[in-house]
Amino acid sequence: MKLLKSLGIALLLASTPLTFAAEAVKGEEHAILTDAPDVPPPITRTYATKVIVNLEVIEKKMRMADGVEYVFWTYGGKVPGKFIRIREGDEVEFHLNNHPSSKVPHNIDLHAVTGQGGGAGASFTAPGHSSVFSFKAINPGLYVYHCATAPVAMHIANGMYGMILVEPKEGMPKVDRELYVMQGDFYTKGKTSEPGLQPFDMEKAVDERPTYIVFNGSVGALTGDNSLKAKVGETVRLYFGVGGPNVASNFHIIGEIFDRIYPEGGTKIINENVQTTIVPPGGATIVEFKLEVPATYVLVDHALTRAFNKGALGLLKVDGPEDKIIYSGKQTDTVYQPEGSGIQKTADSAPAPVIAKTTQDRIKFGQRIYTNNCLACHQGNGSGIKGAFPPLAKSDYLNADKKRAIATVVHGREGPIVVNGEKYNSVMPGQVLNDEDIANVLTYVYSNWGNSKKVVTPAEVKTVRSAKPAAAKTKSEDGH
Ligand SMILES: [Cu+2]
């Protein structure tokens, strides 16, 4: 027995060097770097290696929102910076190259680094220079990197952040699709949506009053043609980080549930079935979810004025077969009148349908529909909200084309649109209203606020509803 035991220990000791000793680093390779929302391919290596990372800092004028430009400071020409993917145990030779056109020096603090300043001092680089330092990735996880040159918050507020994933030795479970999204807050002298080239506003930054809070560096970086895409049946892993400098994200995807999360970008799945997860500035999370049904899922910071007024909104468009058991879509819409509610169902207070006999009726009934269904976004006087919801008052878009206006209400609308010379790029959900209601509400809108007094009939709505919507620009509850 004793003999057996010591034999066992001897065997264990003999095999120890193969499995436990600090892994020998074999060979070298150049890291594959990607721009968001792309992620470099999973690491298939079963050994540690020397990884050479070449990252270029470029100061660059780019779009912040429609009509709004900003001089971003970037790692690799985009915000967020390039995604770096390495393996636990890798030894990284990091080259930070500051473009000769830069106005100021920059550096990098990678949260994956163990050592002074996360590399900040060692990588301090004047314009037109390159610095090299190296580190060993001893902790796996998802880490933010950012500039740490004074004033640090300003460098970050100009877009200087990205992420590095250190895969654990055993790798990560296979998924069908990986995505890279970061949230950041921006501070401009002008108000939200004020056009032109906007300078950084230090006072707003110090007061933590962001002008924009966005995903992937600009308003609309993940909407319209830039929407994320996936298919029903796929499992998605999303690497989500917050560059900040100041604002944590209450990260949520409307219509989806995070099946698994690695909170704070750590290596353990320590929660499942989560609706909203909080991610601090300089922090990250990994969320995974399976896509069961087709939909346009909406990524938001669930502090919702950030999403709807400051930009923190993105779309994940998922195509594929429906599953009416998991999600049926709207099945019926009937009159609901609780007994004893005291509300008498009369021609002008009944919810729907109300049959209008005259244009005056249409306008009167339409006003109520407007109040219940449109006012929240387009405002009581049809003025809309600049930068978020286009006006219906004297709207050239509305007045030019009745059919198009009907289609907008029936199917919803998303993507770039110009109304009275102002650009919008957002989402109007398809309205769940019957033909009579839509005829009434549009007749009401047309009859008010300097509009063209067109009359819309239920028959016209019916025709538009049965026609095929122009695929890319419209959507509705049932996925058309
Ligand atoms: Cu910098």
Check residue 380 and give its pLDDT.
79
286 Cα: distance to centroid of ligand 1 (angstroms): 26
Distance 65 CA to ligand 1 centre (A): 22
How many C-beta atoms surround the C-beta of residue 13 within 10 A? 9
User: Ligand 1 center to residue 263 CA distance, Å?
Assistant: 28
Question: Measured in angstroms, how far is the CA atom of residue 341 from the centroid of ligand 1?
Answer: 63
156 C-alpha vs ligand 1 centroid, how far in Å? 7
pLDDT at 332: 78
- Cα–ligand 1 centroid distance for 148 (angstroms): 6
User: Residue 306 C-alpha to ligand 1 middle, in angstroms?
Assistant: 25
Number of other residues whose CB lies within 10 A of the CB of residue 425 = 17
How remote is the CA of residue 149 from the centroid of ligand 1, in Å? Answer: 5
The rounded Å distance from CA 62 to ligand 1 centre is 17
From the CA of 61, how far away is ligand 1's center (Å)?
Answer: 15
Reading the block at residue 93, the tokens are 């030779």
pLDDT at 244: 96
Predicted pLDDT at 160: 98
Ligand 1 centroid to Cα of residue 122, in Å, is 14
Q: How high is the pLDDT of residue 369?
A: 86
C-alpha 77 to ligand 1 mean position (Å)? 13
| pLDDT computed for residue 183 by the predictor | 98
Q: Which tokens is 475 given?
A: 């959507």
Give which of 232, 253, 127, 130 is closest to 177, Cα–Cα: 232
**N-to-C CA span, the chain:** 73
Question: How many Å lie between the centroid of ligand 1 and the Cα of residue 160?
Answer: 6
CA of 244 to the centre of ligand 1 (A): 14
Mean pLDDT in consecutive groups of 10 residues from the start of the chain, 480 residues: 45 46 87 98 97 98 95 98 98 98 97 97 96 98 97 97 98 97 98 94 97 97 94 98 98 98 96 98 98 96 95 96 92 76 49 74 89 82 87 96 95 91 87 89 96 96 82 40
What's the gap in Å between 113 CA and the centre of ligand 1? 18
Q: How far is the CA of 104 from the centre of ligand 1 (A)?
A: 7
Residue 176 Cα to ligand 1 midpoint, Å, equals: 35
Q: 76 C-alpha vs ligand 1 centroid, how far in Å?
A: 12
Please tell me the distance between residue 287's alpha carbon and the centre of ligand 1 in angstroms.
Answer: 29
74 C-alpha to center of ligand 1: Å? Answer: 8
pLDDT of residue 470: 53
Q: How far, in Å, is the centroid of ligand 1 from the Cα of 114?
A: 20
Compute the distance from residue 110 Cα to the ligand 1 centre, in Å: 13
Ligand 1: distance of its center to the CA of 6 in Å?
58
